[in-house]
Chains A and B, each alone.
Chain A
Amino acid sequence: MNNNLENVLKKEPRRALQYSLIAIVLVILLAVSSPALHGAHVTTKGIEIGWNILMGILMPDTSLLFGLNDSSVAYLILQTIAIAFLGTLVGAVIAVPLSFISATNIVPRPVVIVTRFIIMAIRTVPSLVYGLMFIRVTGPGPFAGVMTLAIVSIGMISKLFIETIEDLDSGILESLDACGSTFFQKIRYGVLPQLSSDFISILVYRFDMNLREATILGLVGAGGIGAPMIFAMGAYHWHQVGAILIGLFILVFVVEIISNKLRQKILYG
């Protein structure tokens, strides 16, 4: 019995060599990456600022946090949500045709390769760069933020849309054909019901991500809650920074919960 157990134990593959190789590679990579620590020092001024930020969060500027005028946190949150919402919508309007001409079951392969390359290239440019480019088009403000998010969203929305489109069940279309449906009836009863719930859930998910993105667009002057925050930080107004950070946290947190619930409901009823 004991021999049996020992035999089984010996049969277990020896991974020691494999693991130590991985460990060595990781250690080498870490050593190579150590310049990332360059400038790692904490000054007394840094500690003081850190402490001030913490105090600012614990004792936020209540008139800013609970006020209802143009510069209050509530209005900034509304503006951020509006930017993310409209950005997602405009992005979707551009992404839908783009994903139909990138799905392998609709267009031939060479076209797919070209369009997918374009989508990937669009995705690579960081959002702040688009923000700076759109400011030249629309002037600084939330409008630039909307356009930036629209372009930034295209990459992910179309990638997920393409997957949904490629999963289309063509059997349904064939049976509609057999019933003698017209072209538009086929789209209405064969294609749309298959795509709509996935599409909406993707858009809700992207809205959630865009909201996070919209909070930082203010750094380049493209509206949202980020701009007043960077001004408050530059001016060392930590109580205002605290108020804005609290607003930001609540906004992202609440929207995440709602979007998760909503997507569950859309996908699984």
Chain B
Amino acid sequence: MGWYDKLFDAESYTLANGKTVSQKFTRVPLLVLLLLIAIGISVWVTGFKLTTLFTNLSGFWNIFGSMFPPKLSYFMQVWQPLLMTIQMSFFGSFFGALLALPFAVLAAHNITNNKIVNLLIRFILTVVRTIPTLVSALIATYIFGLGTFAGTVAIFLFSFSFVGKQLFEYIETVDMGAYEALTATGANAPRAFVTTIFPQILPIYLSTALFAFEGNVRYAAILGYVGAGGIGMILNEKIGWREFNSVGMILLSIFVAVVIIETVSQRLRKHLS
């Protein structure tokens, strides 16, 4: 930003004691200009029009309004896919978190002292993490066929990469004193890890896994859109048939389930820390 300060002179004040202080010229105009350019390009690329929005917004409210009141009797058909969604999330999160542990150990440079292994594992975690869950679910449906298993695989991959990243970053900050003391007395590395590092990372590990599970329940609700099982299947179907009061019931069920799971899991996480 040196050129900017050269272009616009700094303001200087002379204080009562004769000292001169200066303040750099404000950067607000430059930032506002950049922001306006970015907005202009975005509006042009996306075709954003406020007038369309306000004239057609009634369509949105119509759909929204027709979700009320939710068709309560439809719950009999909702609870099974909902349960399936939670089962998928649990199964995927559990095994994802389980697999994340050895990978996190390999990615942490203070435990695995090998740059190539560290970088390779981190690269794998990053690649898996950047692919959106819905996209991996879509790919999984092509490989494993339509059904809940594809969704479970997608959730598994997400949990694995998320927990793996959080965990290896945490492992790198733990206190290594006890570990070094144990290896100095002749313990081998796995033994020393289990008795000294593992107790330190366990609370964070469990609470990260729980956090991933929470998010997964919310996310698994839409996996059905690509045919990967769960409540998203009937959600997609009912939207297609425009049975919006059934859609309302599905959304209400998801809302209640998510609130219950988040409350329980937040309790558990608070207890852990």
Contact = CB atoms under 8 A, between A and B. Distances in A.
Nearest to B93: A33
B145 A39 contact: yes
B149 A39 contact: yes
Given A38-B147, A82-B41, A128-B225, A248 B130 contact: yes
A171 interface: no
Contacts of A160: none
B226 A137 contact: no
Interface stretch (B17-25, B59-67, B182-190): B59-67
A178 interface: no
A137 B144 contact: no
B84 A248 contact: no
Nearest to A52: B142
Interface residues of A, number: 64
Contact of A36 (B45, B90, B221, B251): B90
A49 B45 CA distance: 34
Contact of A42 (B143, B147, B247): B143
Given A36-B92, A128-B222, A138 B131 contact: no
Contacts of B86: 33
A215 B131 CA distance: 9
A86 B134 contact: no
Given A134-B60, A143-B48, A146-B48, A121 B255 contact: yes
Contact of B143 (A29, A50, A137, A223): A50
Contact of A129 (B52, B84, B132, B239): B239
A216 B49 contact: no
A127 interface: yes
Contacts of A223: 46
B144 A42 contact: yes
A58 interface: no
12 contacts: A33-B86, A38-B147, A39-B146, A41-B145, A46-B143, A82-B41, A85-B42, A124-B255, A138-B53, A216-B135, A248-B135, A249-B131
Given A29-B94, A137-B52, 10 more contacts: A37-B152, A38-B229, A79-B45, A82-B42, A134-B60, A143-B46, A223-B46, A230-B138, A248-B130, A252-B132
